[in-house]
């Protein structure tokens, strides 16, 4: 994504990274007032997922998986994927994450946090309450919104007008790249991941060190409560 992107201010292109031999080093010169505008918006089942292992708390091992998306499609405001009356929300570049809390002795999953649209839609579940396939946890990515959920169904939001939809679609078993350094060089980039969206690279995302302590509920999601 970085190698094929352009650097933009809110109104104009500053640089094409396709012409750079060391695009990461060049990006380190720019601040968070700039954004990456991606020239390739197709997703791929070959895309990796980045993992960070956090052992600061002796009660559990926290493993965060960061998913980077090149494009977020339109959410249909009328409430169903097939309806195209009013659409909104399409943007480039975004980041979601799922967090696993593991027992430090047995490595069994005790809790899972599903990131979705910020903390007000995020969901905590116990390890025994999520789906598994061949002992691997199953995570659902919502249609056109890339919010993460534990099951295939309609997830009602904002009075049922901008719902999230998950189903048993294509199976993505990603390559896992562990972030072993405290903060790798490419994570020090302050430029936003997409244009005109303002999603940060993982190291500057709140999920790098913590997760919301409180889970959402059906009522919070439906009524849009904080």
Segment 36-45, tens digit of pLDDT: 998 887 777 8
Instruction: Quote the pLDDT of residue 67.
Output: 92
Question: pLDDT by residue (tens digit) across 63-88?
Answer: 999 998 888 877 766 655 555 556 66
What's the pLDDT score for residue 111? 97
pLDDT (0 to 100) of residue 79: 54
Stretches in the chain below the pLDDT threshold 50: none
- This prediction has a pTM of 0.88
DSSP E strand stretches across the chain: 5-8, 13-16, 35-38, 49-54, 61-72, 75-76, 87-88, 91-102, 109-114, 123-126, 132-133, 136-137, 140-141, 148-149, 154-155, 164-165, 176-178
Token digits for 110? 């005790």
Position 85 scores a pLDDT of 57
pLDDT given at position 216:
80
Contact present, 14 and 195 (Cβ < 8 Å):
no
Please answer whether residues 164 and 149 qualify as being in contact, where contact means their C-beta atoms are separated by less than 8 angstroms.
yes
Q: How many angstroms separate the CA atoms of 79 and 102, rounded?
A: 37
CB-based burial of residue 162 (10 Å sphere; 0-12 exposed, 13-18 middle, 19+ buried)? Answer: buried
């Amino acid at each position: 994504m970085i190698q094929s992107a352009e650097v933009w201010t809110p109104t104009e292109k500053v640089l094409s990274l396709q012409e750079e031999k060391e695009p990461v080093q060049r990006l380190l010169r720019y601040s968070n007032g700039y954004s990456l505008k991606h020239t390739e918006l197709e997703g791929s089942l070959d895309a990796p997922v980045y993992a960070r292992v956090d052992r600061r708390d002796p009660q559990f091992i926290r493993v965060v998986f960061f998913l980077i998306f090149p494009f977020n499609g339109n959410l249909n405001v009328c409430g169903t994927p097939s309806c195209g009356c009013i659409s909104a929300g399409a943007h480039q570049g975004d980041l979601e994450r799922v967090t696993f809390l593991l027992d430090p002795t047995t490595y069994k999953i005790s809790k899972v946090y599903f990131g979705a649209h910020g903390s007000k839609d995020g969901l905590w579940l116990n390890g025994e309450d999520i789906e598994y396939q061949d002992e691997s946890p199953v995570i659902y990515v919502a249609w056109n919104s890339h919010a993460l959920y534990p099951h295939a169904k309609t997830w009602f939001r904002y009075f049922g007008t901008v719902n999230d939809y998950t189903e048993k679609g294509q199976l993505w078993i990603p390559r896992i790249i562990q972030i072993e350094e405290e903060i790798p060089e490419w994570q020090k980039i302050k430029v936003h991941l997409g244009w005109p969206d303002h999603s940060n690279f993982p190291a500057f995302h709140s999920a790098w060190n913590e997760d919301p302590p409180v889970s959402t509920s059906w009522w919070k999601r439906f009524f849009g409560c904080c």
